Structure 1
Amino acid sequence: MPVSAVLGIDLAEHKFDVALLVAGKTEHKVCRNSIEGFETLKQWLDEQGVELLHACIAATDGNGDELAVYLRRSGHRVSTVHPSIINEFAWSERLHSKMDKTDSFMVARFCQVMKPREWDPPLPEIRSLVDLGRRADSLVNVDDQERTRIRALNGYADSVIQGHIAFLDEGIEKLKFGSK
């Protein structure tokens, strides 16, 4: 018989920690933040006998979208929640810590108690626009850093930094006007 469970996911750049709440027990696992890690998670869930799952991912700016899509395609219900909401919930539960194992448990507990709404994946066109906007923001930030750097170096390596600034400016313009 399929097991109904809640999965809390604390996402980091290279890994994610999960806490599985099932049948009154809590199980933990750490996986790589990659397709291989997603598959490891799926295999682990299968080993736990879990088929019906509500997964909740603590993530910002779409960082959990790939994992969310993977879990949805695997037939699970998925929610994404900003980590600050999870932190506030943790304080209300008097369970706060900065340990990944505890964080994933708090995400699972939040999911279990608050039953957040299901995540709707953005349309591919919207995701592309968001990705372009993020890339443009990143280039502008690096451009600003280089302009600050060139003022601070008093002539040292000016030509190298000026070349990098020109390269960044060209990339920003391409993103603004959609040229290739």
Structure 2
Amino acid sequence: MVIPNGDCRRHSCHRSHHHDSRLRHRDRTFDHLAKQVINLDKKSKELCVENSNDKTVEDYSENDYKITVNLVDYEEENITVKTKYRALYINAEKDDDVYFEVRIVPEVANIYNATWDYSDDKLEITFPYKEREEYSSETCTLVIDETVNIVQKYSPNLDVRMRPGKKSVNDQNEDDKVNNVKN
């Protein structure tokens, strides 16, 4: 079959050409996205190396995702922990020593209910996992929230219970006075 003037719009070669074009576009999109993810991971690794970070440990437990950082002799008031979307910012300062880290939090971690605690020279940041309803496999409906969230210092809820007939907390048995209840 001879195609006049090289025009193939009405012929099967057009479909083939169009299919090849879409495939090339998909490949370019894949390559572009892969390069961005790789560059993000490289940048995270650079930050880790720059800060000679042998202090941080990640833990995926049954109920939550935890990051533990060994910070010897820091003061709690000099520690800042915040998130923006899935980026976690940690900054701790003492005298001339500054600990700084930025890392990517897994998508299953609930950044809005994260807490941190500093005790025994360890900073522990805890992210409960998202509930199944919050975590959808439909990634195209994903809402990207760019709000900066200050991660709250962990403080246990105090449950003070008084027995009927007791006038004060001091009149109760030791076991009944104060119970620390974790979130």
Q: Which structure exhibits the higher relative contact order, with contacts defined as CA atoms closer than 8 Å and separated by 6 or more residues?
A: 1
Q: Which has the higher strand share?
A: 2
Larger Rg: 2
Scaled by the length of structure 2, the TM-score of the pair is: 0.24
